[in-house]
Amino acid sequence: MFNIKELLAVIIASSFILLDVVWADVSYYINNNGQLIQVEESVVLEKITLEEILKTSSPKEIMEKISKKVKSNSKKEINYVSLAKAVLFRESSNNYQTINKFGYFGGYQFGVAMAEDAGMLKKGEFKRFLKMKVSQKKFFFKYAKWTKGLSAKKFLATSKIQDKYFKRSLLVNLRYLKAKGVVSKNTPVHKIQGYLVAAHLKGANSVKLWVNGKLKKKTDRFGTHINEYFKLGLNS
């Protein structure tokens, strides 16, 4: 059986823990109660007792788990389908026709800013929306200048169109995060996915500020924290 020091060495070197928990670039320490604490950006994500980790007595079985975990998490490409499923369920419980009280609409809860960034609305529509001082819902249905024959009614009625523009919004945010140095060729894919889903909640610029410790307001209008969406993308 591994002793505690050997097991920790394996865990730290592998950058993950053995059980089905958050996959992340993390650091670890043991508290006074003998718990192994997983920490990311000063936020405790999981607590697993050493007894739980050491249930497997055979070093061979432990190493097989490690090998299997590495293989399952060695993603080289962003899984846009997985991200879409996670965000769609989190935002609207898979209801493509929903509109919330703030006027965010569709399965992915598009706002005016995101709709313009993704190419659904013509350039300059977000600035025009701010000047008009009307609700998002009213703007979408009455004033917005849509592209490519789209309309609020058509958009809400067509899931494939929503899926298409959600992916476009992810690509727009990814380009921004790359341009600002938040994402590089060395950034793990699971972390990029976390950033993209966080950007869906708060915007790509907010993700840049958050990563640099400069974001003041870390929640949206419903009180949802940016870290919650980061973890949602991280595990998708």
Supply the range of the domain harboring residue 46. 4-72
Greater pLDDT, 70 or 219: 219
| 129 and 182 within one domain | yes
- The string of pLDDT tens digits covering residues 59-99 is 556 556 555 554 444 457 899 999 999 999 999 999 999 99
Q: Specify the pLDDT at position 60.
A: 58
| 145 and 45 within one domain | no
| 84 and 62 within one domain | no
- Whether residue 18 contacts residue 65, with contact meaning beta carbons closer than 8 Å, is answered with yes
Q: How confident is the model over 30-44, as a mean pLDDT?
A: 41
| 185 and 120 within one domain | yes
Number of domains present in the structure of the chain: 2
Q: Is the dihedral of CA 57, 60, 63, 67 positive or negative?
A: negative
Any idea which of 42-51, 96-105, 131-140 has the lowest mean pLDDT?
Answer: 42-51
| 95 and 52 within one domain | no
Q: How confident is the model over 21-46, as a mean pLDDT?
A: 39
Q: Across all residues in the chain, what is the average pLDDT?
A: 80
Looking at the predicted structure, is the pLDDT value of residue 39 above 50? no
| 112 and 227 within one domain | yes
Q: Specify the pLDDT at position 52.
A: 53
| 180 and 150 within one domain | yes
| 40 and 93 within one domain | no
Looking at the predicted structure, is the pLDDT value of residue 198 above 60? yes
Binning pLDDT at 50, 70 and 90, where does residue 236 land? confident
Boundary (domain end) residue, out of 33, 49, 72: 72
CATH number at residue 142: 1.10.530
Boundary (domain end) residue, out of 72, 92, 112: 72
Looking at the predicted structure, is the pLDDT value of residue 58 above 50? yes
- The string of pLDDT tens digits covering residues 104-119 is 999 999 999 999 999 9
| String of DSSP letters for 192-227 | HHHHHHHHHHH-HHHHHHHHTT--S--B-TT--BHH
Greater pLDDT, 64 or 165: 165
Binning pLDDT at 50, 70 and 90, where does residue 55 land? low
CA–CA separation, 94 and 18 (whole Å): 32
Boundary (domain end) residue, out of 72, 101, 127: 72
Torsion of CA 154, 156, 157, 161, to 10 degrees: 80
| 109 and 61 within one domain | no
